[in-house]
């Protein structure tokens, strides 16, 4: 469930590097025409760098995930638990119609898992030691089904395309803001001065946060679909039990009231807009409602 956080952070880093490179190479200065901006050229440049940054983030997502979490890919299962993990992911991948993902374990006390990769046949599914130690086998099977469903549904590529669109507008609008501040407010007629660079940098940060909210909203919608896929691959009751376990663990590990506003998993206010996952009660309720309605779970198959 670290998937979206890692993608957004990596995208921010790549976008920052590309932005600095553009300024050092004088690309921004080339977009100025007399007393105005060449908006057509700016939009094309923004799209190239915006989508380029998003797809670079996607292509290195498996490497970044392994580096960030210390996940160790299971080459040859060393024990019965690792054998069960590999066999379960293999069985679920075959049912979902995707290539066999790499399976990894990373050392962390939290109950967590993630899937990443640039396409459906070159992915990584990783689970924490906390998940293995605190979940039953049925619950862990449901979590694996949830992650395999993310891969089968093409969620990483879908969110990368969305990230590319919002990146384009972040780059475009931040430079428009920088130009207006430099030329209109600071009356700089000799080109792009310090005001342009400072205003562009600040605008890119603010717009980047707003863009992250958009990506997070789409991510929350994809989580419901992955939950339904996990229910299809492992069983609805197992998927509900896994979410109940996550809810119980979350409630037991909540921060003290005086510190809750600073927690990354804060349940309300501004932080809710940046949440990549819907509240667990909503996810559990959606599974129970779909069971009552008799809906078919939408795991895409080849």
Choose the catalytic residue: 102, 139, 147, 223. Answer: 147
**Can you tell me whether residue 49 is helix, strand or coil?**
helix
Which residues are CB-contacts of 53 (< 8 A; sequence separation ≥ 6)? 11, 14, 15, 18, 164, 167
DSSP-derived secondary structure letter, 135: S
Q: CB burial class (10 A; 0-12, 13-18, 19+) of residue 13? A: middle
Distance CA 219, CA 12 (A): 17
Whole-number Å distance between alpha carbons of 113 and 101: 14
Which residues is 36 bridged to in the sheet?
33
Is 147 catalytic? The answer is yes
* Alpha carbon distance 207, 218 (integer Å): 17
For the annotated catalytic residues, the residue numbers are 147
């Amino acid at each position: 469930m670290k998937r979206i956080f890692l993608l957004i952070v990596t995208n921010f880093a790549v976008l920052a590097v590309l932005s600095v490179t553009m300024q050092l190479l004088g690309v921004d200065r080339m977009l100025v025409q007399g007393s105005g901006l060449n908006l057509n050229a700016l939009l094309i440049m923004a799209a190239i760098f915006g989508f380029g940054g998003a797809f670079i983030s996607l292509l290195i997502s498996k490497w970044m995930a392994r580096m960030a979490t210390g996940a160790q890919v299971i080459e040859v299962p060393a024990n019965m638990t690792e054998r069960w993990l590999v066999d379960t992911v293999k069985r679920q991948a075959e049912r979902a119609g995707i290539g066999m993902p790499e399976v990894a374990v990373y050392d962390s006390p939290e109950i967590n898992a993630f899937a990443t990769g640039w396409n459906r046949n070159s992915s990584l599914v990783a689970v924490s030691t906390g998940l293995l130690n605190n979940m039953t086998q049925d619950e862990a099977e449901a979590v694996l089904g949830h992650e395999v469903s993310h891969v089968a549904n093409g969620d990483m590529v879908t969110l990368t395309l969305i990230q590319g669109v919002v990146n384009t507008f972040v780059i475009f609008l931040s430079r428009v803001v920088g130009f207006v501040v430099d030329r209109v407010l600071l009356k700089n007629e000799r080109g792009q001065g310090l005001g342009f660079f400072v205003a562009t940098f600040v605008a890119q940060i603010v717009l980047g946060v707003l863009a992250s909210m958009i990506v997070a909203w789409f991510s929350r919608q994809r989580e419901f679909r992955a939950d339904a896929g996990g229910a299809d691959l492992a069983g609805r009751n197992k998927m509900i039990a896994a979410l109940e376990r996550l809810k119980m663990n979350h409630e037991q590990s909540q921060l003290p009231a005086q510190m809750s506003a600073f927690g990354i998993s804060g349940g309300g206010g501004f932080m809710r807009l940046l949440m990549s996952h819907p509240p667990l009660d909503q996810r559990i309720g959606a599974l129970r409602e779909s069971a009552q309605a008799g809906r078919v779970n939408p795991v895409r198959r080849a």
